[in-house]
Copies of this chain bind each other. A is one copy, B any other.
Amino acid sequence: MMKSPFSPRSQADSRVISVQKEDFDVAALYQALQQNPSSGAVVTFTGLVRDLNLGTAVNALFIEHYPGMTERALSDIVEQAKQRWPINDVAVVHRVGRLEVNQQIVFVGVNSAHRQAAFDACEFIMDYLKTSAPFWKKELSDQGEQWLEQRESDRVASKRWS
């Protein structure tokens, strides 16, 4: 059996928070979330590098973060989600460094007894991550390098939870 990144199952519900250069394995992350017998629902979100952003053909992304503060911000967001919804295990993985088109950027996975809590918590974590975790994306295209601006739609999305 594959080693679970969620430490002992008999203990309280687990949290995985990781900021890393390496790619992540959605299959292994899902498998760990699937193993909680009191969870009837697993919701996962995966963000990928798109080939096109606001009309620009993208070659790659570079993602910078603030080591230490980023992990702390992600923990805070997960903690808030656990206080708002009856969810069990949570995993948040975000990559940094250079990422090519189609590569995986971010994973958020949540399990819960019922589907609505799992969907809501997963969306909430993504919305807050987008506006309050210190990551910055630079887009590399044939037109050169460009730091991305925060989207108004992301600010709106995170405000709907408050």
Point out residues on A near B: beta carbons under 8 Å. 26-27, 30, 34-35, 37-52, 101-102, 104, 113, 115-116, 118-119, 122-123, 126, 153, 157
- Tell me which of B38, B48, B119, B153 contacts A119 (CB under 8 A): B119
CA distance A51 to B49 in the complex (A): 38
Known A-B contacts A30-B26, A30-B30, A119-B123; the reply to A41 vs B37 at CB < 8 A is no
Which DSSP category, helix, strand, loop or mixed, fits chain A's interface?
A: mixed
Given A27-B27, A37-B102, 8 other A-B residues pairs in contact with their CB atoms under 8 A: A30-B44, A30-B46, A34-B46, A40-B47, A42-B45, A42-B46, A45-B115, A119-B123
Contact B119 A115 (CB under 8 A): no
Cβ of A135 to closest chain B Cβ, rounded Å: 15
Contact B119 A37 (CB under 8 A): no
Name the residue of chain B whose CB is nearest to the CB of A49.
B40
- Tell me which of B35, B42, B104, B115 contacts A126 (CB under 8 A): B115
Name the residue of chain B whose CB is nearest to the CB of A101.
B37
Contact B44 A48 (CB under 8 A): no
Cβ of A5 to closest chain B Cβ, rounded Å: 15
- Tell me which of B27, B52, B119 contacts A30 (CB under 8 A): B27
